[in-house]
Structure 1
Amino acid sequence: MTTAREKLLAMMDAALKAADPAVQIPLNMPAKPKGKTIVIGAGKASANMARAFEKAWDGPLEGLVVTRYGHAVACEKIEIVEASHPVPDTAGQKAAERILEIVQKAGPDDLVVCMISGGGSALLALPGPGLTLEDKQSISKALLRSGATISEMNCVRKHLSAIKGGRLAQASAPARMVTYLVSDVPGDDPAIIASGPTVADPTTGKDALDILRHYQIDIPTAAKDLLTDSAHETIKPGDPCFDGHKTVMLARPQDSLEAAAKIARELGLNPVILGDAIEGEAREVAIMHAGIAHQVANHGQPAAKPCVLLSGGETTVTVRGKGGRGGRNSEFLLSLLIQFRDQAGLSAIAIDTDGIDGSEDNAGAIIDPTSWQKGQDAGIDLREYLANNDAYSAFAKIDDLLVTGPTLTNVNDFRAILIE
């Protein structure tokens, strides 16, 4: 008999398989150029994407791709380097400098192929004029702790950058460019994914400054000057550098949710996709999900049990307590567990599809009706752990952490709540 955990893991596996960009790249190969083929990129899935392109490409190629530490894969012709995420480091800055130098040498007969996925903002770290890497690091840390959405964070990042917000495409002109994308953002907007280094950006420096003011984030004078400098605006729609530029969306959160729903049906479950772009405080989003789960369990709405509620998007965590260990998916699930307690028939899984929840070594966690009692047996107060943003430690104590290792893709959060 298939257990609740086995069903949840089967849906997770299907979601991750659907998000693998290596499957789609060979089906979307560009025409060969007269000149060179140059592969560049940044993101948690970018090395996997580069390897898939290299295997499918019949001809010479060269290039450089930067990915997160631990996410590299071997390529024969494309150099893969690793850097820090979510806070940028000097390795990412050096990689960004080299990538910019490479594309600036491309000519009109060359093809620049860019691999972009979530995480690219931190990994492609090239501070704008007058800024230091330390400035970028401090602002990134503040944004990560503030509860800002990914769209808001990336708006700030691109306006403080010398390479994002379409500037990489501008530097590549007049070469032909193709950008492959793996979406990790609600709405799948290419201008937000990795802060849109190769696509047009409609936002302004004022927008970025307003976000920083809203979250009461202090920034250096140099950053304020940059955000109010009209000469440093991102590259806008209609700029000739985008002429002939093609973007290809390889994987989206919705694809993963639909793949999980297919498995759910095969397991005899009624799947309900709540949305692929859900945002908000992780603990509060969990309360909303719990309310829907209880409605299913008690009233058979919006679907009769056995049922699974599926959702994606990117929640946020505002650090309120002592700043314990844990990412947004672990925090979501800890809040959900507190709502469920030991209620029979309710189980759930929540992961970051890149395999790393925040900055820890787990993808997320998995719970079933035994989880609450395990916490009681361990003598721990799960509410206190939630108050201290310490979900990782809580799930470690009750052995409910889920560790997958790097998945080499990234379509954001995957959540499944099973009601039987």
Structure 2
Amino acid sequence: MQNDKFLRAMFDHAVEVADPMRSLAAHLPPKPKGGGRLVVIGAGKASARMAEAVEAAWGPCQGLVITRYGYARPCQGIEIVEAAHPVPDAVGQAATVRMLDMLDGLGPQDHVLALISGGASALLVAPVEGVSLEEKQLINNALLASGAPIKRMNTLRKHLSRVKGGQLAARAFPARMLCLMISDVPGDDPAFIGSGPTVGDDSAAAEALAVLEKWHIDAPVSVREALTKGSTVVRRDDPRLAHVENRIYAAPVQSLRAAEAWARKMRPGIDVRLLGDALQGEACEVAQAQAAMACEIQRGMTDGAAPVLLLSGGELTVTRRGDGIGGPNAEFCLALALALRGADGITAIACDTDGVDGAAEVAGAVIGPQTLDKARAADVDARAALAENDAHRFFEQIGDQVVTGPTLTNVNDFRAILIEA
């Protein structure tokens, strides 16, 4: 198997093991019985697939789940609404209002199953009083271009919302709630998965204001005024969260370990090195560091040595400088190719496991020793593309994009570098 095909097949396997239809049922308790109601709610790019898996185990259920356009799945009783991501829209806002209404009036005999995955931050839309949807959209766009890490982005999102930061769970009190989560955040902190709609948060609105200042977010006056007034975020010790259990059942490290096992099976003797499942930082800077690491490893290899595979996960960021079409995985690959300068024997892939890198309908890209030669043959300037954050168009022009379509799961970014002597 050629190295680029080997890496693509390994990525596909890492995604497959995180498919809720394969992984969720083992973490689902018996369906609640008795006189109380059961309501299933959820949001995120994997949430419709999670709902499909729930009904495969429990049968038809009442509920509402909000997912990204193109990510709906057929369900028997749970209503699936498609809305915009990564910038929220009016459809998501209307669906969020309906979801909150479903939780009103529940009693201690009732049960709520919440299904949360990455993407819920944009799909659950309920701006605080005084802030409009259009203003939330402006903030989201600015955050995405700022280079701020996801945890800081979500801190700001929580304090501008009436549903994030434990507020969705508080709305269901006194019903009992089980929240099953797929993690897409470095460190797997449930408070930051989808901005933690079922998890309390002890941060203050002043911390959200600090995000605006540190990452130079040009916020409308109404946003600053709302943050100055305080916040409706629910603290961790709030009694309304006493009946809530939050459980992460799928996380990036599981997919990386599955990729490692697959690689060892396909290429016995391969030296697999896991660099971590929670890497953060600017995509270009991480690419340069990993290129230097790969070259150093290769220099120390002797003829006939077993290949080395570097695996890493996490969520890289891009500080937008140009007006190109790009995302952190494609930008990582482009910066990596430039740093490697066509080094023989080094091939790499970087993709988002949800199939969407940034705002592009592309998972990521693959590079190899011929990447820069292919660009020159196509009259494409790699350095100019990187300067304009135009990595997706670059890889489209040379035919090295990775396009998966909706994967229906989301366990963050996946990066692999294969090094041969």
Note the residue ranges of structure 1 that are not aligned, 5 or more in a row. none
Q: What SS does structure 2 have at the residue aligned with 1:194?
A: helix
Aligned counterpart, 1:105: 105
What is the distance in 2 between the residues matched to 1:365 and 1:122? 25
- Amino acid in structure 2 at the alignment position of 1:25: L
- Amino acid in structure 1 at the alignment position of 2:103: V
Any idea what the Cα deviations from partners look like across 1:117-161, whole Å, max 9, x if unmatched?
Answer: 000000001101111001100000011001001101111001000
Aligned counterpart, 2:10: 11
CA contact under 8 A between 2:198 and 2:246: conserved in structure 1? no
Any idea what the Cα deviations from partners look like across 1:87-123, whole Å, max 9, x if unmatched?
Answer: 0000110111111111113222111110100000000
Structure-to-structure mapping, 1:280-299, within 5 angstroms: 280-299=281-300
Structure-to-structure mapping, 1:142-153, within 5 angstroms: 142-153=142-153
Any idea what the Cα deviations from partners look like across 1:292-344, whole Å, max 9, x if unmatched?
Answer: 1111101249xx640110001000111112x1011110000000011122211
Aligned counterpart, 1:216: 216
CA contact under 8 A between 2:256 and 2:277: conserved in structure 1? yes
Aligned counterpart, 1:238: 237
Greater CA drift, 70-79 or 102-111: 102-111
Deviation at 1:378, TM superposition (A): 1.1
What is the distance in 2 between the residues matched to 1:179 and 1:198? 7
CA contact under 8 A between 1:21 and 1:250: conserved in structure 2? no
Tell me, yes or no, if structure 1 residue 383 matches structure 2 residue 383.
yes
Q: What SS does structure 2 have at the residue aligned with 1:342?
A: coil
- Amino acid in structure 2 at the alignment position of 1:26: A
The TM-score, its normalising length taken from structure 1, stands at: 0.96
Tell me, yes or no, if structure 1 residue 28 matches structure 2 residue 27.
yes
Q: What SS does structure 1 have at the residue aligned with 2:99?
A: helix
Aligned counterpart, 1:183: 183
Any idea what the Cα deviations from partners look like across 1:19-57, whole Å, max 9, x if unmatched?
Answer: 222223211223414311100010000000001001101
Any idea what the Cα deviations from partners look like across 1:220-244, whole Å, max 9, x if unmatched?
Answer: 22222221223x2411111111213
CA contact under 8 A between 1:290 and 1:339: conserved in structure 2? yes
What is the distance in 2 between the residues matched to 1:29 and 1:409? 17
- Amino acid in structure 2 at the alignment position of 1:62: Q
Deviation at 1:201, TM superposition (A): 0.9
The TM-score, its normalising length taken from structure 2, stands at: 0.96
What is the distance in 1 between the residues matched to 2:206 and 2:300? 48
What is the distance in 2 between the residues matched to 1:379 and 1:225? 50
* Percent identity over paired residues: 50
Alignment root-mean-square deviation, CA = 1.3
- Amino acid in structure 2 at the alignment position of 1:403: V
Structure 1's consecutive aligned runs of 4 or more residues displaced over 6 angstroms after TM superposition are none
Equivalent pairs, count: 414
Aligned counterpart, 2:166: 166
What is the distance in 2 between the residues matched to 1:219 and 1:279? 25
Tell me, yes or no, if structure 1 residue 405 matches structure 2 residue 405.
yes
What is the distance in 2 between the residues matched to 1:308 and 1:244? 44
Aligned counterpart, 1:54: 55
What is the distance in 2 between the residues matched to 1:129 and 1:376? 53
CA contact under 8 A between 1:30 and 1:178: conserved in structure 2? no
Q: What SS does structure 2 have at the residue aligned with 1:280?
A: strand
Any idea what the Cα deviations from partners look like across 1:51-85, whole Å, max 9, x if unmatched?
Answer: 10011015x62000000001111101000000000
- Amino acid in structure 2 at the alignment position of 1:103: L
What is the distance in 2 between the residues matched to 1:294 and 1:80? 48
Aligned counterpart, 2:44: 43
- Amino acid in structure 2 at the alignment position of 1:336: L
CA contact under 8 A between 1:297 and 1:305: conserved in structure 2? no
